């Protein structure tokens, strides 16, 4: 066994006896994620995962039926659920019962109006408690209406030129234009706006947030050894100075891995968190822990005392955690914030989990893991050099 | 005797402060060498360079012939360091502390178990070996601090003010341990600002102040260096004036004077003179009630050399 692993083993024993690492690394994030899940879970995450939209087609023409085909295509991708109703009354009852969150009403005469180039109306009725579903239904309806509008414009232009097409062709044009899914970009959501389910979001957010506090126990140990005088004993022993720094790195890494593993398993069983394919999760956890060790190691290399390192580390962990969207996805809906979050390992970790949470295989985690590895290499290299220099006076 | 430690021209500066300037000394096997000086004199900086913790700006350190450098582990196994602070882990037991450091010196298995038991016995902590160190008294922690330095059987043991803040009983136990180690052939480098400890333990002493060794030698050599004499005070009754005259003529006596309570004699060596002096009292029929010998101490030497007291 190398000197570094012996030092790490000793530190692990001390940390287990101390219990503070267990409390900060496991108990606190587990409790907080569960509390957040209970309090905020339904507010902004779970509703969006249960989008049930109704369709009432009172027109029943080729044009109106094309909306049903569009909705069916989206339903096939697992993004929404679609229920067809015969009339507005039964659809409203469905909303009141919670069966659907919103419905789209295509009134009688819509097809004729579209062909005649006249104004037409598409109604969207939504549950006030299902704003996301209502917004999605509204978006689909608007896009469908725009498609018809584009077809009307084309037809009007052609007629104006004296080369009016036969009515059957106009019908086809209208259908094709209506089905052209130019604005249905929400189907292929970008990674920035992709979202985990509530339990996984809070479990992962709290886990990665407290990870930075947990790994700090290891690297701060170097400053504690310095303060307690045991560092001089270690440096006087026939072991390389790199072993001392490496030992602290190993214990930081081990504490981080233990903390994350326990939290992943615990939240899976207690909160039904869906972390995704194990290989992808493992990749993100390992690179995430490495990046946390690197950043906290850099802080330790600057600090003069363990207390100073603890305080500075806490500030950095909170700022990065908040910015990285571990409490709430601050990057959604704001391009600048969205880009800013990518300066944090937290955001990449959450992004990586999002990438693999929707049924993708583990390789979907590779971009985020690569980013986390980059954090590790850049910050870790600087920390390694500075900590070594600290030991050589 | 074999030279275990050779420090030659050690110099170390921190920014504009020259902490140690051209310090040189040697320690032989079984010899206890004291670095005596006040706080801030350069003792800890000197031993840090000897132990390979600090890289000297110039000069060299050899332990058992091996150069000691901060960037090399060569020769480290021959050094046992007892830092000034109690450098142990409070949340480990005495045994766990010893085993952890023993393993860093490549000790393992039965050899380590046996040696840990031996050291626990030497430092008198065998019955508390499985207790967490944070439950120990300050003196017990100090003893364990020394035990860790001894564990790997070093040829050179460096003790940096090991009795600071220790109760008298534990202090005596520590001093006895050092005497025992020296008798076993270990070379001991002992720093202290307690003059009594240096006088009791050290075969040779270097007086260090402001980073420079002011003088070095045995206690007697240092005392003679500044012209100090032994003083014998004899409390007595009888014809003391005649006794003083006879005593003044004894070899090695520089002065003898009588008073109502007895006589006082200044000499180069009190121990050698004492039998002859006692004969003087007997021949004059004077009755001796008390004899006290005052040897010039290192405190006086230090004061003479530096113009300040050791505890300044």
Domain count, chain B: 2
Smallest CA–CA distance from A225 into chain B, residue: B87
Residue B35: inside a domain: yes
Domain count, chain A: 2
Residue B305: inside a domain: no
Q: Closest partner residue to A232 among B73, B87, B106, by Cβ?
A: B87
Helix axis angle for A306-323 and A278-302, nearest 10°, is 140
- Model confidence pLDDT, tens digit, residues A200-232: 888 899 999 999 999 998 889 999 999 988 999
Q: Are B44 and B107 contained in the same domain?
A: yes
ipTM for the complex?
A: 0.79
Q: Closest partner residue to B91 among A3, A17, A232, by Cβ?
A: A17
Question: How many beta-carbon pairs below 8 A join chains A and B?
Answer: 67
C-beta separation of B160 from B44 below 8 A: yes
Q: Are B82 and B164 contained in the same domain?
A: yes
Q: Tell me which chain B residues have a C-beta less than 8 angstroms from the C-beta of A232.
A: 48, 51, 53, 81, 83, 87
pLDDT at residue number B46 = 94
C-beta separation of A227 from B83 below 8 A: no
Q: Are A141 and A249 contained in the same domain?
A: no
CB–CB of A238 and B103 under 8 A?
Answer: no
Q: For chain B, which residues lie within 8 Å of any Cβ of chain A, measuring from their own Cβ?
A: 48, 51-55, 70-71, 73, 76-77, 79, 81, 83-89, 91-92, 96, 100-101, 103-106, 148
Residue B34: inside a domain: yes
Q: Residue A180 above 60 pLDDT?
A: no
Q: Tell me which chain B residues have a C-beta less than 8 angstroms from the C-beta of A10.
A: 89, 92, 100
Q: Are A235 and A112 contained in the same domain?
A: no
- Which residues form the domain of B287? 229-295
Q: Tell me which chain A residues have a C-beta less than 8 angstroms from the C-beta of B88.
A: 230
Q: Are B164 and B246 contained in the same domain?
A: no
pLDDT at residue number A153 = 66
Q: Are A122 and A265 contained in the same domain?
A: no
Q: Are B210 and B237 contained in the same domain?
A: no
Q: Tell me which chain A residues have a C-beta less than 8 angstroms from the C-beta of B81.
A: 232-233, 236
Q: Are B196 and B138 contained in the same domain?
A: yes
Residue B300: inside a domain: no
Find the CATH number of the domain harbouring A79. Answer: 3.40.1710
Q: Are B23 and B163 contained in the same domain?
A: yes
Smallest CA–CA distance from A4 into chain B, residue: B104
Q: Are A332 and A382 contained in the same domain?
A: yes
Residue B301: inside a domain: no
Residue B311: inside a domain: no
Residue after which a domain boundary falls, among A132, A154, A188: A188
Q: Are B83 and B134 contained in the same domain?
A: yes
pLDDT at residue number B78 = 94
Q: Tell me which chain B residues have a C-beta less than 8 angstroms from the C-beta of A18.
A: 91
Distance from CA of B263 to the nearest CA of A (A): 53
Q: Tell me which chain B residues have a C-beta less than 8 angstroms from the C-beta of A230.
A: 87-89
Q: Closest partner residue to A229 among B71, B87, B92, by Cβ?
A: B87
- Model confidence pLDDT, tens digit, residues B99-133: 999 999 999 999 999 999 999 998 888 999 999 99
Q: Are B217 and B246 contained in the same domain?
A: no
CB–CB of B53 and A236 under 8 A?
Answer: yes
Q: Closest partner residue to B81 among A14, A233, A393, by Cβ?
A: A233
Residue B218: inside a domain: yes
Residue after which a domain boundary falls, among B208, B224, B240: B224
- Model confidence pLDDT, tens digit, residues B137-180: 888 898 899 999 989 999 999 999 888 877 888 888 888 888 88
Distance from CA of B254 to the nearest CA of A (A): 51
pLDDT at residue number A173 = 57
CB–CB of B87 and A235 under 8 A?
Answer: no
pLDDT at residue number B304 = 75
Q: Are A218 and A93 contained in the same domain?
A: no
pLDDT at residue number A183 = 38
Q: Are B168 and B74 contained in the same domain?
A: yes
Find the CATH number of the domain harbouring B155. Answer: 3.40.50.300
Residue after which a domain boundary falls, among A141, A160, A188: A188
Q: Are A129 and A54 contained in the same domain?
A: yes
Find the CATH number of the domain harbouring B289. Answer: 3.30.70.920
Residue after which a domain boundary falls, among A188, A223, A240: A188
Q: Are A141 and A128 contained in the same domain?
A: yes
Task: Locate A77 and state its tokens.
Answer: 């991708």
Residue B9: inside a domain: yes
Residue after which a domain boundary falls, among B224, B247, B267: B224
- Model confidence pLDDT, tens digit, residues A235-290: 999 998 899 999 999 999 999 999 999 999 998 888 888 888 999 999 999 999 99
The CA distance from A74 to A86, in Å, is 21
Q: Are B258 and B220 contained in the same domain?
A: no
Q: Are A131 and A170 contained in the same domain?
A: yes
Q: Are A118 and A234 contained in the same domain?
A: no
Q: Are A107 and A40 contained in the same domain?
A: no
User: The pTM is what?
Assistant: 0.70
Q: Tell me which chain B residues have a C-beta less than 8 angstroms from the C-beta of A237.
A: 76, 101, 104-105
- Which residues form the domain of A69? 48-188
CB–CB of B73 and A239 under 8 A?
Answer: yes
Q: Are A290 and A363 contained in the same domain?
A: yes
Q: Are A14 and A56 contained in the same domain?
A: no
Q: Residue A176 above 50 pLDDT?
A: yes
Q: Are B240 and B267 contained in the same domain?
A: yes
Q: Residue A188 above 90 pLDDT?
A: no
DSSP string covering chain B: --EEEEEEEEEEEETTEEEEEEEEEEEETT-EEEEE--TTSSHHHHHHHHTTSS--SEEEEEETTEEP-TT--TTGGGEEEE-SS--S-TTSBHHHHHHHHHHHTT--HHHHHHHHHHHHHHTT-GGGTTSBGGGS-HHHHHHHHHHHHHTT--SEEEEESTTTT--HHHHHHHHHHHHHHHHTT-EEEEEES-HHHHHHH-SEEEEEETTEEEEEE-HHHHHHHTT--EEEEEEEES-HHHHHHHHHTSTTEEEEEE-SSEEEEEES-HHHHHHHHHHHHHHTTPEEEEEEEE---HHHHHHHHHSS-TT-
Residue after which a domain boundary falls, among B204, B224, B244: B224
């Amino acid at each position: 066994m190398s000197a570094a692993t012996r030092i790490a083993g000793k530190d692990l024993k001390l940390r287990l006896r101390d219990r503070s690492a267990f409390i900060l690394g496991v108990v606190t994030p587990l409790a907080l994620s569960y509390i957040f899940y209970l309090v905020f879970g339904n507010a902004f995450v779970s509703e969006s995962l249960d989008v049930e939209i109704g369709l009432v087609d009172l027109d029943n023409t080729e044009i109106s039926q094309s909306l049903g085909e569009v909705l069916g295509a989206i339903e096939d991708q697992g993004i929404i659920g679609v229920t067809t109703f015969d009339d507005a009354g039964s659809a409203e009852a469905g909303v009141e019962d919670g069966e659907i969150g919103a419905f789209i009403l295509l009134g009688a005469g819509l097809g004729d109006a579209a062909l005649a180039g006249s104004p037409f109306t598409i109604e969207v009725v939504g549950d006030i408690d299902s704003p996301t579903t209502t917004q999605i239904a509204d978006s689909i309806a608007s896009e469908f209406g725009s498609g018809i509008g584009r077809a009307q414009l084309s037809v009007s232009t052609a007629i104006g030129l004296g080369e009016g097409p036969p009515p059957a062709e106009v019908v086809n044009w209208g259908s094709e234009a209506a089905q052209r899914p130019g604005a249905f970009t929400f189907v292929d959501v970008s990674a920035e706006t992709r979202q985990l389910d509530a339990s996984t979001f809070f479990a992962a957010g709290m886990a990665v947030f407290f990870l930075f506090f947990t790994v700090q126990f290891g690297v701060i140990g170097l400053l504690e050894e310095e303060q307690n005088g045991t560092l001089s004993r270690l440096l006087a022993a026939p072991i390389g100075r790199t072993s001392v720094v490496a030992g602290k790195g190993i214990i930081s890494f081990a504490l981080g891995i233990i903390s994350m593993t326990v939290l992943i398993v615990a939240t899976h069983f207690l909160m039904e968190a869906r972390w995704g394919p194990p290989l992808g999760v493992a990749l993100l956890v390992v690179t995430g822990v490495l990046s946390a060790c690197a950043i906290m190691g850099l802080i330790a290399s600057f600090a003069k005392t363990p207390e100073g390192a603890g305080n500075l580390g806490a500030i950095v962990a909170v700022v990065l955690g908040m910015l990285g969207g571990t409490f709430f996805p601050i990057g959604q809906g704001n391009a600048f914030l969205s880009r800013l979050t990518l300066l944090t390992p937290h955001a990449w970790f959450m992004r990586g989990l999002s990438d693999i949470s929707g049924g993708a295989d583990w390789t979907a985690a590779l971009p985020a893991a690569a980013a986390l590895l980059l954090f590790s290499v850049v910050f870790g290299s600087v920390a390694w050099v500075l900590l070594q220099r600290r030991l050589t006076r | 005797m074999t030279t275990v430690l050779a420090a030659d021209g050690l110099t170390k500066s921190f920014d504009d402060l020259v902490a140690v300037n051209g310090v040189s000394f040697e320690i032989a096997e079984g010899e206890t060498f004291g670095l005596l000086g006040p706080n801030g004199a350069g003792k800890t900086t000197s031993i840090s360079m000897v132990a390979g913790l600090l890289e000297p700006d110039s000069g060299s350190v050899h332990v058992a012939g091996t150069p000691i450098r901060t960037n090399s582990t060569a020769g480290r196994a021959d050094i046992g360091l007892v830092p000034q602070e109690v450098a142990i882990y409070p949340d480990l037991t005495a045994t766990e502390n010893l085993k952890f450091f023993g393993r860093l010196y490549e000790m393992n298995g039965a050899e380590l178990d046996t040696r840990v038991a031996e050291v626990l016995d030497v430092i008198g902590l065998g019955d508390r070996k499985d207790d967490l160190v944070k439950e120990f008294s300050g003196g017990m922690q100090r003893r364990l601090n020394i035990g860790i330095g001894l564990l790997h059987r070093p040829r050179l043991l460096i003790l940096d003010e090991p009795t600071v803040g220790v109760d008298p009983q534990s202090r005596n136990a520590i001093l006895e341990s050092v005497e025992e180690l020296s008798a076993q052939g270990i070379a001991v480098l002992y720093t202290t600002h307690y003059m009594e400890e240096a006088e009791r333990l050290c075969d040779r002493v270097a007086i260090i102040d402001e980073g420079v060794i002011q003088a070095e030698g045995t206690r007697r050599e240092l005392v003679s260096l500044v012209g100090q004499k032994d003083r014998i005070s004899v409390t007595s009754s009888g014809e003391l004036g005649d006794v003083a005259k006879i005593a003044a003529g004894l070899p090695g006596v520089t002065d003898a004077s009588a008073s109502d309570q007895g006589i006082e004699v200044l000499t180069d060596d009190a121990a050698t003179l004492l039998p002859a002096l006692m004969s003087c009292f007997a021949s004059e029929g004077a009755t001796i009630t008390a004899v006290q010998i005052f040897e010039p101490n290192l405190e006086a030497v230090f004061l003479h050399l530096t113009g300040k007291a050791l505890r300044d």
